[in-house]
Structure 1
Amino acid sequence: MARLAEYSLATGWHFKDSEDKAPEAWMPVPLVPSVIHQDLQANGKLKDPYVGFNELAARWVNEKSWVYRKVIQKPAVPAGSAVVLAFDGLDTFATVKLDSNVILESNNMFQGHRVDVTTALENEGEHVLEIEFDCAMLRARELRKQDSKHNWASFNGDPARMSVRKAQYHWGWDWGPVLMTAGIWREVRLEVYYARLADLWTAVDLDSSYQSAQISAFAELDAAQFNSTYKVNFTLSLHGKEIARQAAIPGNKVAKVTFDVDQPHLWWPHGYGEPNLYEITASLEKDQSEIHNLVKKIGIRTAEVIQQPDKHGKSFFFRINGTDIFCGGSCWIPADNILPNISPERYRKWIELMVAGRQAMVRVWGGGCYEDDSFYQACDDLGVLVWQDFMFGCGNYPTWPELLDSIEQEAIYNVRRLRHHPSIVLYAGNNEDYQVQEQAGLTYNYEDKNPENWLKTDFPARYIYEKLLPSVVESFSPKTFYHPGSPWGDGKITSDPTVGDMHQWNVWHGTQEKYQIFDTLGGRFNSEFGMEAFPHLSTIEYFVENEKDKYPQSHVLDFHNKADGHERRIATYLVENLRAANDLETYIYLTQVVQAETMMFGYRGWRRQWGDERHCGGALLWQLNDCWPTISWAIVDYFLRPKPAFYAVARVLKQVAIGVRREHHDWSVTHAQPPKTSKYELWVVSALQEEIPGKVELQFVSVDTGLEIRERIVRDVRIVPNGTTNVVDGIIDHTIDTEPHVLAARLWLDGEIVARDVDWPQPFKYLDFRDRGLEVTKINETSDQQTFKINTRKPVKCLVFEERDGTTFSDSAMDIVPGDEQTVTVIGLKTATLSYKFLGQ
C-alpha cells in the first residue's frame, strides 16, 4: 500500500492582469506562496511600496483583477487512490479552473480548501491550472451597495471591507498603508493517497492536584472506503523519548485512545516554569504498512479566566495550572502587509523578543489574520500566552446568510487548525465592534437572549459574537475561554473599568490625559493602550529617499504616519514634557522618551494594582510590532529594532521589581506653579510564588549637583508572593527640599541589586541636564560580547544605546544616578563603537 505523496506546486507559475489579452502579458512568479505586489516587484512593474510615496504609485494594483496559471503534470496515481488539490489560503475572491473547468470558487481568505481532482486528472500528461483573483476592493463596494439597509458604521478603512472575509488592515489602518493584496498567499500542493489522517487532536484532563493527567487522542480518517482493515497507532513522547503507545481501529471515521500520564511535565508561561511540550503521533496502517502519519506538539496545562465579584467590581485575570499570572504583554498586528514575506524564522525572532522583554502574553488583533502555524508554535515553544481575536475589527458587520455560512466555515477551519496549541488561552469575538455599536447608537439589549432577534436589529453582528463563534469554540475547543469581544464586560458599556477588559485610549486619543496618571485610568484588564514614537533613524533612512526630507515634519514622514491628528498629538506630549528640538535625530529620541515614560507609568502602576485583590489582571500595550516601516505605537519597529519603550516595559515586568513615585502635580493646570508638598510611595512587586527577604534603599538626589539632599532610607522587607509589598511612604516638603531631585530606589536580594526605579520631577523641560559627567567604559570583551560599566556625577535620564541589526543589549533606556554603577552587556557589537544618547545631551 503506497504512502500519501505530496507534490508541492510552489514553482512554474505565471501571472498577468486579467484584462490584458496579449500573449506576452504573462510574467513569471518566482515562488508561491506569494501575493501580487511581490510578483509585480520581481518583474520590475512596481517599486517597493514601503519606500517614500510609492504606496500611492501602487494604488492602481488595488483595483485590478489578476490571473495565475501553471501547467501541472498528472502525478503517479496508484490504483484506488484519490488526487486532491489542497490550498491552504487564497486571497480572496478566487475562481480555480482545471483545464478550463471551474473546480472551486472561494471568497474567504481565511479558509483552506481541498478539491478532489481524481477524475479531472484522468488523462495522462499536462493539465492547465488557472486561478482568477477578482478585485476584492471593487467586489466589496458592490456587496455594500446590495445591502443598502445595513448601517455600515466603522472606524478605519473603507466600510465596504466588512462585506469581505479578507484581512481588514489591507484596506488601510491608522498605522498601515492601503495595499490590497491578491494571490496564492499560503501553500498549494497535490496530494495522492489511498487513505490519510485528516486531523489529529487531543483533549487533556489535568487532575486538580496536577499530579496526573489523562490525554485522549483522536485521529480522523479520510478514505474512499472505510473498513476494519485500517489501524491507527498512537505514540506519546516527551523530549524525544517515547513514553506510551496504543493502537485503535477507527469507528465512524475516528480512532481514539487514552493515555494516563503520572507526574506530568506541565506547560508553563515563561518565568513560571518550563513550557514543556509532549509530542503526539498518529500513524495510519493498512495491511501492516504505514501509509500516513501526523505529528503534533501539545501541552498539559489548565487555563482559566477568573471572573469573580470583589471590592473593585468583577475580576478578570488568567490562572494557569492554579497559579495567578499577571499578563503583561503586547497586542500583535500582522508583521507585514505582504504576508508571505514573514518566514518562520522571522516569527520566532518576534516571539524571542517578547521573552527577552519579559512579556507573558500576545494578543492577536482582529483586523489582521489567523497567523501561520509557526507563530503559534514559537509561542508554544517559548511559553508566551496567546489571546486570539477572531477576524472582525472596528465595525458593524453585516449578516446575510451566505456571509454567516462563510464565517462559520472560517471559524471551524481555524479553531480546528489551532486547537492543539497550549499557548492559546482565550478566543475573543472581535476588536472594538461593541465600541462601534455604542458610538453609532446601534441597538444592543443585553437582556434579550434570543439570537434570532439580534439579526433583526441594526446591530446584527451580535449574532456572530454571542451565538455563532462561541458555538464553534464550544464544539471544537471547549476548554478554551471565549470572550465576546475586546473590549467587553457582561454587556456593560465598554469603558466600564469594573468588569471585563478595556481599551484605554484617553492618553493619545480621547481626552489626551497626562501620561503620568495612566495607572488611574485603567480597568480590570487593560488590553489596549499606547503612545506613538518614531522608529530609529536607520529605519527612517530606509523609506526616506532624499536628504532634504530628513526633518521631523517632512511630507514623507507625515505620510508614513497614518494616525489621524498625529501631528498635534505628538506635539502636545512633547511640548508638555520636553524641550523642543528641530534636528531629526534628537526629535526621534524625544518621541521615544515620551513613549518609554508613558509605557512605564502605565505598566508600573497597573502591575502594582495586581496585588490589590487582582484589581488589574494584565496590560497589553498597543502595539508590539509594525507591518511596514512607519511611525506608530509599536515598541519594536518593522525591522525588529526595539525602541526604548521595549526596555522600559521589560524592567517593570521583572519577576521582582521595585517602584517609586511622587504624587502627580498637574503643572499645566496650575500655570507651572510648583507644589508645596508631595507625597511619595515605594513598593515591591513579585511574581514569585513564595515569600522572600530583601532590602530596599531610597535616595533623594539633586538633579543639579548629584548630591544627596537628605538621609537615604534603608529597609529590610519581607516580599509577599505573587503580589505587592508596600514599603515606604512619606512627604516631601518643597519649602525645605527646594532643589529638584530624583527619588532613586534599589532592591537587593541575597546581597545583589536586582531592580531599580527612579522617579523624576515633572516635567523634564524645567530641568537642567547640562554637565552630567556620564562615563561609559568597556571593562570586558570576548569574540562576540562586550561589557560596559556606566557611572555618572549627576542623574542621567534615559540613556539609550544605538540599535544595530545583529546587536543585542542587556538593557537600554536606563536612568543612572551617582554612586550606583551599572553594567550593560552587548552582543554582536564587534568592532563598531558604542553610540548612545541621553536626555539633554
Structure 2
Amino acid sequence: MTHPHTIHTISSGWEFKQHHDPDDPDAAPPKIAEWLPVDHLPSEVHTELQRHGKIPDPHVGLNELEVRWVGEQAWIYRTTFPTPPEVTTVSSTAKAELVFKGLDTFATVTLNGEVILRSDNMFVEHRVDVGRLLLSFPAESENNLEIIFEPARRRGLELVAAHPEHDFIVHQTEVSRGPVRKAQCHWGWDWGPIILTCGPWKPAQLEVWTVRVEDVRAEYAVDLSGGREAPTVEVAVSATILGAEAMDFLEVEVWFGGEVVVQFRGYKDDEDKDNDDVNIPAAEETPPWTYTSPKFTIPDPQLWYPRGYGPANLYELRLRAISAPTTDKSAAAVLAETHQTIGFRTVELVQEKDTPAGGQSFYLRINAIPIFSGGSCWIPADTSLATLTPARYRAWIALLAAGNQNMIRVWGGGVYESDEFYAACDELGVLVWQDFMFACASYPTYPEYLASVETEARQNVRRLRSHPSLVIWCGNNEDYQIVERYGLEYRYEEDKDPEGWLGTNWPGRFIYEELLPRVVREEMKGMGGGQVVYHPGSPWGNGTSTTLKVDANVGDIHQWNIWHGEMRPYQQLPQMGGRFVSEFGMEGYPHLDTIDRFLVGGEGSRDRYPGSRTMDFHNKAVGHERRLLTYLGENFRIKYDMKGFAHLTQVMQADAVSWAYRGWRRQWGTQQNDGKVSRGCGGVLVWQLNDCWPTVSWAVVDYYLVKKPAYYAIKRALAPLAVGVVRKFHDWTTRPADELWKRDTGHVDLREAVRDVVFDVWVASARLEPVQGLVVIRFISAETGEDEGQTIEEEVTVLPNGTTEVFSGLRYEGADEKLKHVLDRGYVVIHASLLVGGEEVASDTSWPDPIKYLDFADRGVKVKYLEKDLVEVSAEKPVKGFVFAERQGVTVSNNGFDVMPREKAKQVRITRDDGADMGELAWTFVGQ
C-alpha cells in the first residue's frame, strides 16, 4: 500500500529545563529545575527563559552579563507525538523519518529512550529513519522525543585540548570557537554580544513517504549569441527518486507568470506512454533511481537580471512522482512532489589584466552586461535566530533594494541564511555574495572536522544552488589575513599539493582551495557554464596578495585604514579603494528612539549621555571612544548632549560612506582614449547593513530596521543617474610636516582652503543607453547664502553603464577676492545638479573641510507640512546634515540631506505603520 509524502511538523507540545547530569557528583544544582513550556519550534533557550521571566532582556542595559551563565549550562528539550496511522497500516510500505533542519549545536537526540542522533554542527540537517522505533512502541502511546544540548564553549575547549597538533589562532573571541561548527559571532564580535545560544533553531518534523524526491537540479545553458533580446535557454532536469519502484511516471512542469510553459512525463520503461511524452532511461534495479531528462528549450525565455539592469524574471520547476495503476488517469495519485524557484542567467567574474589602471579587474558580468555591485555586508539579524520570521527577512531585503543596492554579502561568521532570505533576493533582483562559515581564524583539519565541513558545504550548496541571486561562493572571511599576520606557511605558486597543505602550520588552505571548490564544482556540475563563481576568501588577491597589506589592483579588499589601522581621514577614501571593496565602514549612533529602548529607564535613564557605561557597553568596537571622538573632533564642533552627539556621528557616518561610494563608483567605468571602458572598481559593500541587537556600530540600519542617514547617502550615491562633485581635500591634522622646513602642521596657512578651491564634477550611470543631460554648478557663500560668481552650465552625453567626467581640476576663480573679507565669507559650497529633460534627477554638494570652521547660525530653515504625511524642507542659507528623527514604524523617503537656498524645496514623504505614533517628527541639522 502506497502513501503520499506527508510532513508532520513537530512544533508544539515542547518543554525544556536545565539538564542535570546525575552521573556528575560535582555538578551544581540547576537554576531552572522545573519543566517550562516552549512557545513553539524553532526555539532558542535564551528566548524561552526571557519569555518565562527567568532572565532579563539581554539587549537592555548590561543584562548581557547577567545571562552569560545560560550559555555555560546544558539544556534539555522534550515533547511527545503520536505515530501516524499510515506507518502502522499492515500493508504499508511507508518509511518514517525524523528530520531536524538545524540543531544548535552539540545535541544528543533520543526517541523512546534510544539514542538516534548525535550532532555537533549547527549548519547540518539530519534525517533519521525511525520506522522501527515507532512500530516497536505501543500504538496507543505517545512517542517520547528528547534533545540534550551541551554548552558549546565547554565542548570547544575539550576539542582544542584533544587536538594539540593544531595551533588554534582565533581573533575577536576566545579559542574555543575554533573547532566548533556554530555561528562564530555567538562568541561575541566587535558589534555583537556574547550570547552562546542553544536549541532546535530550525524546524523539526516527521516525514512519512513511500516515494521521496531529492537532489533536484535544473541544469541549463544560456546562449546569448543572438543578443540579450533573443536568448535561447536549454534545460535538463535531474533528480534522485527514493522508492521509485512504487511510482509509474514522473511529471515535470516549468511555470512562468502563472502558466505552464513546458510539460512532459518521464516513464521508467518504454510502455504506456503518449507520443508527446519525453522518454527517460529505465530505472536501475536498486533504489535510489537517478532521473535525467533529455534537454529541452524554454519558449521565449525571460532572463533574470540584477536590480537596476533588468527584470528579475523567475520560473518555477515542479516535479511530481505519480502512481497510476490503471489506464484511468483519474485514478492517478501524487506520491511526492517538489517545487523549486529558478532563474536563467549567466555570470562571470571578470579578472582581466588592465594595463591603463595596472593589475587585474574584478567585477561581475551577468547576461553579458558588466555589473557594478553596490551594496552591503550582512550579519545575522538577531542574537536569537529562531525568532526571525519570513516577513522580517523580506523587510530587510526590500529595504536594501529600495536603497538602490543590488548586492548583499552574507558574512562568514554568521549562518547560511533561511530559504526566505534568498527567495526575497531572487524576487527583488539582489545579488548574493555567500561566504562559507569561516571567519578570522586558523581552523583545524583533523578528519572528523573535515568530514563535518564537507557535509555542511554539500548540504548548503545543494539547498541554495537554484537561487539565481546567489552568484559567488566565497571560502572565508579574513582567514588569509591570519596567514599574513602570523607568517604562516603559504606558497601559492610553488606548492600545489593539497594533501601536503594538511601538514603545514596553516592547513586551512586545504579547506578553501581544495575541499570547498571541489564541493561547489561537483554540486553545481551541469548547472550551466559559469552559473556561480568560487572565490577562495575575502579579501584575497589571486594568491599574489591576501590584502592585509592592501593591494588595490588585485582581487577584493577590506579597507580598514579608515576607522581601524591608520585611521586616515575619510575624505581620502576615494584614493583608498581597490578593484572590489568588499568591506569598509564608519560607526554612527542609531536614532534616539532606538537608544532609549536599550537604556534602563529609557529617556529618563541616568546613562543617557555619550560615553556612559551603558553606551560604551553597547559599542563592542575596540577603541571606539578614541576613534569616534577623533573623527568628530577633526570635522565637527562636538556636542555632548545625547541628541547632538548622536546626530553628529550619524552625519559623519553618512559623509564617510558618501565619499566612498561616490569616489569608488566614479572609478567603475571610465572611457579611455582608445574608446575602451576601464573597469577600475567593480563593487562596494559597506560594513554593514544590519545589527543583531540594539547597539552602536557600523550598521547603516539599526536592529529595529530604522534607517540611519548613511543609508540614504548610499541610496543617493547608487542612484541610476548620480552626479558627483568633490574639491581638493586640505588635511590639517594628519599630513606629514613640510619637507623643506619640517614645520609642525599647526603653522600651516589655514586660508589655503579658501584660496585653493579646485574641484571635479562627474556623472555616474547604471543606464544601458546614453543619456542627454545638463550639469549645473553653483557656488554659494556658506555665510550669506548668496550665489558667488558665475553659475556654470554644461551639456553632457552621459556614458552608459559607466562614468562621464564633466570637469577635472577646475578652479573656483572667486577665491582670492574673498580673502579680502572675513574668512567665513571666503568659504563656498559647491552645488552640482543633473537635469534630464529639464527635471533635476540628481544633486551633490561639496563642503569646505573641516565643517567645524563654519558658522551655521541663522540658516532660515523652514519645515512645512503640505499634507499629513508630506513635508517640505527649505532654507535661506546652506544647511548641512538635515535629519528627521526616525523611529520603528515611522520612515521617510529621504533623510540626512543638505539643503541649498533657491533650489527646489526638498519634499519628504512620511510612511507610518498601522498603530505607529502619528505625531510630527523631530528634526535637526549641523549647528542648529
Match of 2:257 among 239, 248, 254: 239
Find the counterpart in structure 2 of residue 566 from structure 1.
Answer: 624
SS at match of 1:377: helix
Determine which of 125, 137, 141 is the counterpart of 1:112: 125
Separation (CA, whole Å) in 1 of partners of 2:472 and 2:862: 47
**Residue identity in the other structure for 1:249:** Y
Aligned to 1:664: 729
- What is the deviation of 1:772? 0.3
Q: Which residue of 2 aligns with 1:194?
A: 210
**Given the alignment, which residue of 120, 129, 135 partners 2:151?**
135
Q: Secondary structure at the match of 1:408?
A: helix
C-alpha displacement of 1:295:
0.5
The one-character-per-residue Cα deviations of 1:485-514 (angstroms, maximum 9, x if unpaired) are 000011122221111100000000000000
TM-score (norm 1): 0.97
CA shift, 1:831, in A, is 3.9
Return the match for 2:112 from 89, 99, 107.
Answer: 99
For residue 530 of structure 1, what is the aligned residue in structure 2?
A: 585
Q: For residue 633 of structure 1, report the CA deviation from its aligned partner.
A: 0.3
The partner residue of 1:545 within 577, 583, 600 is 600
Matching residue's letter, 1:731 = R
CA distance, structure 1, for counterparts of residue 246 and residue 190 of structure 2: 57
Residue pair 1:348, 1:378 contacting (<8 A) in 2 also: yes
Instruction: Determine whether 1:482 maps to 2:531.
Output: no
Residues 583-631 of structure 1, C-alpha deviations (whole Å, 9 max, x = no match): 0011000100110000000000000000231110000000000000110
Separation in structure 2 between the aligned mates of residue 130 and residue 34 of structure 1, nearest angstrom:
14
Cα offset for 1:830? 7.8
Cα distance in 1, alignment partners of residues 618 and 509 from structure 2: 35
Q: After TM superposition, give the deviation of residue 440 of structure 1 in Å.
A: 1.2
SS in structure 1 at match of 2:439: coil
The residue correspondences of 1:785-796 to structure 2 (distance < 5 A) are 786-796=869-879
Q: Match of 1:401? A: 447
Give the superposition deviation at 1:216: 1.6
Partner of 2:509: 462
- More divergent stretch after superposition (208-217 vs 341-350): 208-217
Q: What's the counterpart of residue 425 of structure 1? A: 471
Q: Partners of 2:889 and 2:59 in 1: how far apart?
A: 22
CA distance in 1, matches of 2:160, 2:290: 42
Mapped pair 1:735 → 2:816 = yes
Give 2:518's match in structure 1, choosing from 471, 478, 487: 471
Structure 2 SS opposite 1:30? coil
The alignment partner of 2:442 has SS state of coil
> Aligned pair in 2 of structure 1 residues 776, 24: CA closer, same or farther (>3 Å)?
closer
Query: What is the CA-CA distance between 1:804 and the residue it aligns to?
Result: 2.6
CA distance in structure 1 between the partners assigned to 2:372 and 2:246 by the alignment: 50
Q: 1:482, 1:454 → 2: CA distance?
A: 20
Cα distance in 1, alignment partners of residues 759 and 83 from structure 2: 77
Alignment pair present for 1:773 and 2:860: yes
Report the counterpart of residue 838 of structure 1 in structure 2: 925
CA distance in 1, matches of 2:14, 2:162: 35
Counterpart CA distance in 1 for 2:170 and 2:553 is 26
Superposition deviation, residue 265 in structure 1? 1.0
Could you tell me which of 46, 54, 61 is aligned with 1:52? 61
Q: Distance in 1 between matches of 2:208 and 2:540?
A: 47
What does the per-residue CA deviation read over 1:404-454, in whole Å, with 9 as the maximum and x for residues that have no partner? Answer: 000000000000000000000000000000001110111111021110111
Counterpart code for 1:579: R
The residue matched to 1:736 in structure 2 has which SS? helix
More displaced, 282-291 or 684-693?
282-291
What is the deviation of 1:228? Answer: 7.9
Identity %: 46
Displacement of 1:806: 2.4
Residues 17 and 33 in structure 2, CA contact (< 8 A), matched pair in contact too = no
C-alpha displacement at 1:788, in angstroms? 2.3
- 1:15 matched to 2:16: yes
Is 1:679 the counterpart of 2:758? The answer is: yes
Q: Report if the CA contact (8 A) 2:304-2:311 is conserved.
A: yes
Q: How does 1:695-714 map onto structure 2 within 5 Å?
A: 695-714=774-793
Query: Paired residue for 1:510?
Result: 565
1:587 pairs with 2:587: no
Deviations 1:19-57 (A, max 9, x none): 177996222111110111111112221111111111101
SS at match of 2:263: strand
- Are residues 1:6 and 2:7 paired? yes
Alpha-carbon offset, residue 794 of structure 1: 0.4
Q: CA deviation at 1:231?
A: 1.6
Measure the CA separation in 2 of the matches of 1:229 and 1:5.
Answer: 16
Partner in structure 2 of residue 154 of structure 1: 170
Which position in structure 1 is the counterpart of 2:673? Answer: none
- 2: CA distance between counterparts of 1:180 and 1:249? 51
Query: Which residue of structure 1 lines up, in the alignment, with residue 333 of structure 2?
Result: 289
Report if aligned partners of 1:657, 1:684 keep a CA contact under 8 Å in 2.
Answer: yes
CA drift of 1:825 comes to: 1.8
1:798 to 856, 881, 898: 881
Q: What is the CA–CA distance in structure 1 between the aligned matches of 2:510 and 2:21, rounded to whole Å?
A: 43
After superposition, what is the alpha-carbon deviation per residue over 1:441-495, rounded to whole angstroms, capped at 9, x for unaligned?
1111102111011111000000000000000000112431100000001112222
Match of 2:903 among 802, 820, 824: 820
Contact 1:694/1:748 (<8 A) preserved: yes
Cα distance in 2, alignment partners of residues 73 and 424 from structure 1: 40
For 2:242, the equivalent position in structure 1 comes to 222
Distance 2:873 2:381 in 1: 35
SS at match of 1:353: helix
Task: Answer with 157-166 or 23-32: which moved more.
Answer: 23-32
CA distance in 1, matches of 2:893, 2:37: 45
Which secondary structure does the structure 2 equivalent of 1:309 belong to? coil
List gaps (5 residues or longer) in structure 2. Answer: 23-29, 269-282, 325-331, 526-530, 671-677, 736-744, 820-825
- Report what 2:397 is aligned to: 351
Paired position in structure 1 for 2:456: 410
SS in 2 for 1:466: helix
Q: Describe the SS at the equivalent of 1:313.
A: coil
Change (3 A) 1:230 1:403: farther
Task: Please state whether the residue corresponding to 1:700 is helix, strand or coil.
Answer: strand
SS at match of 2:132: coil
**Which of 31, 50, 57 is matched with 2:40 structurally?**
31
Distance 1:636 1:831 in 2: 22
In the TM superposition, what is the alpha-carbon distance from 1:777 to its structure 2 partner?
Answer: 1.6
**3-state DSSP class of the match of 1:839?**
coil
The 8 Å contact of residues 15 and 79 in structure 2, kept in 1 or not, is answered as yes
Is the 1:780–1:788 Cα contact (8 Å) retained in structure 2?
Answer: yes
Match of 2:633 in 1: 575
Partners of 1:362 and 1:387 within 8 A in 2: yes
Q: Within 1, Cα distance between the matches of 2:751 and 2:65?
A: 50
Query: How many pairs align?
Result: 835
Q: Do 2:407 and 2:430's aligned partners in 1 also have CA atoms closer than 8 Å?
A: yes
Which range is displaced more, 149-158 or 290-299?
149-158
In 1, the alpha carbon distance for the partners of 2:490 and 2:393 equals 39
Larger Rg: 2
Give, in whole Å, the separation in 2 of the partners of 1:549 and 1:638.
20
Q: TM-score, normalised by structure 2?
A: 0.88
Paired residues of 1:248 and 1:256 also in contact (CA < 8 A): no
Name the aligned partner's letter for residue 117 of structure 1.
V
